[in-house]
Amino acid sequence: MTPREAEILAHVAAGATNDEIATALW
């Protein structure tokens, strides 16, 4: 798992919405 993937999973685990996750990816 890359640090990027871990960051994404952290957002998901925190209950982030899809929009919030998408924003984090960019």
The pLDDT of residue 10: 85
Burial of 6 (0-12, 13-18, 19+ CB in 10 A): exposed
What pLDDT digit, counting tens, does each position of 1-26 carry? 899 888 888 888 887 777 777 787 66
The pLDDT of residue 26: 64
Name the token pair of 16: 């982030």
